Amino acid sequence: MSVLPLVFTSGWASGINAYAVVLLLGIFGATGVSDEVPASLQRTDVLVVVAVLFLCEAVADKIPYVDTAWDAVHTVVRPVAGAVVAALLAGESGSLPEIAAGAIGGSTALVSHLVKAGTRMAVNTSPEPFSNIALSAVEDLGVAGVVTFAIFHPWIAATLAGTLLVAGLAIVIFLASRIRRFWRRRAQRREEKRRGQQPVVPPAGAPWG
């Protein structure tokens, strides 16, 4: 059976939460649920590290503005993780060239990550933190559900991941005005902070104090 649908789904999920993808696949492989998971993802040290990073992301991803900073750091991490996981899956299966799988997984993860980051910028225009918490929880559950489903029904899961990816792009385009507002607010805060750090110089001839 072709590993292509699992490659695509893992790439989409890696763009949202790469640590959850590696953790889930590793657990599925280590427990014997799936034979398609490479041994390198089942190693105990790998599972421990990604579990700790997953917990860090679970916290950072729910705090307004911290989530955007976290996304910025992971602009490289998530696509690379998506490419590596896809290449490993292809190498284990042998039904798809590893380079092609890496390109599919990495590019899909990049698009998915940009959708996630753009959505968070739009959400951060709202002053309350509850929308961030709710959206993060939905993303985590969505990744867990779709990746788990991909193990048993890969083509259906890939179709679902593709639908969610297209829907996410449409939502980001719809929220473009809110995203621009986010960047304006951020630039304004930086300018205010810069002005606040500048020393106050009195006019010539005016006494100090």
pLDDT at 173 over 90: no
Note the pLDDT of residue 209.
Answer: 47
Query: How big is the CA angle at 81 (ends 117 and 172), to the nearest 5 degrees?
Result: 20
Assigned token pair, 135: 């959206």
Question: Across the chain, what does the average pLDDT equal?
Answer: 87
pLDDT at 9 over 60: yes
* pTM of the entire predicted model: 0.83
Note the pLDDT of residue 197.
Answer: 65
Once rounded to an integer, what is the mean pLDDT over residues 165-177?
88
Q: Give the span between the Cα atoms of 56 and 51, in whole angstroms.
A: 9
Once rounded to an integer, what is the mean pLDDT over residues 146-166?
95
Q: pLDDT band at residue 1, thresholds of 50, 70 and 90?
A: low
**pLDDT digit string, tens, across residues 56-80:** 999 999 988 898 899 999 999 999 9
**pLDDT digit string, tens, across residues 178-188:** 777 777 776 77
Of 92, 74, 101, nearest in space to 11 by CA: 101
Once rounded to an integer, what is the mean pLDDT over residues 90-106?
90
Assigned token pair, 20: 């959850």
Q: Pick the residue with more confidence: 209 or 38?
A: 38
Once rounded to an integer, what is the mean pLDDT over residues 131-152?
92
Note the pLDDT of residue 94.
Answer: 78
Q: Give the span between the Cα atoms of 56 and 160, in whole angstroms.
A: 27
Evaluate whether 11 touches 107 at the Cβ level (below 8 Å): yes
pLDDT at 129 over 90: no
